Amino acid sequence: MIRKNPRGDLPTIHPSAFIDPTAIICGLVIVEENVFIGPYAVIRADEMDVHGHIDPIVIGAHSNIQDGVVIHSKSGASVTIGERTSIAHRAIVHGPCTVGSGVFIGFNSVLFNCQIGDGCVVRYNAVVDGCQLPANFYVPSTERIGPDTDVALLKQVPSEASAFSEDVARTNNDLVQGYKAIHNEF
């Protein structure tokens, strides 16, 4: 469902993107080229700051937002998802938040008030809150990374995790074409 927010902003969706009919895209959301947005995803840019301002939520080209993902932002703060980035099933991205390009965010992970550098991998059930994660860093499953975390102690993304991330992005790009080809078939 594509809908306006209370201020009247409508999403801008590139014609090559695929948005599952069960997804909700609301307000000042920009969906770029060849993006896949899966079933029951919710992307809402509807909260304003005290001055009535809203920054957009931007989903970069060739990225995928999988089943049940929630992307939202407090008080109109921006959320930017880079290109070729995968946000896996049931993850939450809550702004303000910037996620770089070529990033993989695992199942049920939570990002809040953070910056994730290009090429990072955040595995399932991890939390990244209130910090900046430099490019190509790896957050293991169930870890909590916050402002007190010494990110220098984190490992660089192992080659097998990078290959997995690239395969997920490629697979979901193929789904865009496949679902668009069968759109409106029952």
Tell me which residue of 89, 92, 86, 37 sits closest to 70, measured CA to CA. Answer: 92
Contact 67, 89 (CB under 8 A): yes
Specify whether 33 is catalytic.
no
Q: Are 132 and 152 in contact (CB under 8 A)?
A: no
Tell me how far apart the alpha carbons of residues 120 and 67 are, in angstroms, rounded to a whole number.
21
Cα–Cα distance between 73 and 11 in angstroms, integer? Answer: 15
How far is Cα 179 from Cα 167, in angstroms, rounded to an integer?
Answer: 18
Q: Which of 47, 143, 166, 185 is catalytic?
A: 47
Residue identified by tokens 């840019």 is: 45
The rounded distance, in Å, linking the Cα atoms of 160 and 78 is 32
Residue 186: CB atoms within 10 Å: 3
Q: Which of these, 55, 26, 62, lies nearest to 41 by C-alpha position?
A: 26
* Helix/strand number for the chain, H first, E second: 1, 21
Catalytic residues: 47
